[in-house]
Amino acid sequence: MKNLITLIALALMPTAALAQEDAAPLPEPKWSLAIHGGAGTLNRADMTPEKRAAYEAALQAALDAGAKVLADGGSAMDAIKAAIIPMEDSPLFNAGKGAVFTWDGTNELDSSIMDGRDRSAGAVAGVKTVRNPILLADTVRTKSPHVMLMGAGAEQFAVEQGFPVTPPEYFATPARREALERMKAEQLSALDVDHKFGTVGAVALDQSGNMAAGTSTGGMTGKRWGRVGDAPLIGAGTYADNRACAVSATGWGEYFIRVGVAHEICARLRNKPSGWTVYAPLPEGALEKLQAEQEQRAQKVADEVMADVKQLGGDGGVILVTPEGHAIFSFNTSGMYRGRATSDGVNEVAIFGGEEQTSATPDH
């Protein structure tokens, strides 16, 4: 009996070796990143070449920082922090330095972050002394038993965790102060003085197949009574789930909260239609067709949710990545500061609608 087993094993060895030699090489791991720096009613006539160049350079710097982490095999969580921090540090965006002023003349910052692997999340709202709120949000996620901290409590937690206290004057910029003064003098609404929502965000898929999302903002000019928008709310402005997608939103927060935009998109994508089970080997061209259908479906879902926001009266946009590596934008405004980079060679930034390239290229 023992000899029979040995003979069978020897007889199978060449077949196994042949199968190993004929096995197709495994595909290279994919990674994908999308960022945004706010959406709104952007006027091409007001976009001077100098202003456009400044925004494009800032977006590209953020995109490059996040893409490098992913290309080097880093995690989606590290990539979105790497992309968001430069935008929080730039006075061009409404997050961190350059945040808008509240009615009382202060800068109150909100941020959230979520890991698609385990759906752990952290968020802060109304903080005034933390240079990079996205890092504090992540520390809430990893170092506290809570998901969301606010105001003085969040700042106390930051100090206990070793964050330096950033003086209020660091966040203030003349342009944002002028917007508040004009709002009060002319009795305007926040939408009259803010032609765009400068919230920043990033979503990523890493080479291990994990996704993450993060969002950071200063809110709306002249906000009162401790107003908080969608950016720090998990499920409204930020959501990540490895089973579906990662989403970051920007826009009129009250409407994004009512729709639950980020979670709504992920929930719809998680419920995949029947007939998408993949069996190998696939006929030639079948995989490409399936991937195109998946991207089209993700775009359709994002567009439908943004249409729902618009129907209620809200403006804004979203960025998302999918498990297949698709990086997608959807916005119901004239423009959104945005960018995306993927392992397939896409690397682009855009401002107005319809500016995305039509074919992948590794060039900037």
Closest CA to 199 of 144, 252, 140, 268: 252
φ, ψ of residue 336 in degrees (nearest 5):
-155, 125
Closest CA to 318 of 208, 225, 203: 203
**Is the C-alpha dihedral spanning 349, 352, 356, 361 positive or negative?**
negative
Residue 161's alpha-carbon distances to 139, 147, 157, in angstroms, are 8, 16, 6
Q: What is the DSSP letter of 165?
A: P
Give the 3-state DSSP-derived string for 128-144, with helices as H, strands as E and coil as C: CCCCCHHHHHHHHHHHC
Record the tokens describing residue 22, joined without a space: 């004929």
238 noted as active-site residue = no
Please give the backbone phi and psi of residue 27, each rounded to the nearest 5 degrees, phi first: -65, 150
CB contact at 8 A, 41 and 196 = yes
In the chain, DSSP assigns E strands to 32-40, 109-115, 121-127, 148-150, 196-197, 200-205, 211-217, 238-241, 245-251, 316-321, 327-331, 335-342, 347-352
- Given the residues 129, 139, 199, 333, select the one marked as catalytic: 199
Nearest residue to 294 (alpha-carbon basis) of 317, 318, 330, 270: 270
* CB atoms inside a 10 Å sphere around CB 151: 15
Strands (E), 218-346: 238-241, 245-251, 316-321, 327-331, 335-342
Point out the residues that are catalytic: 199
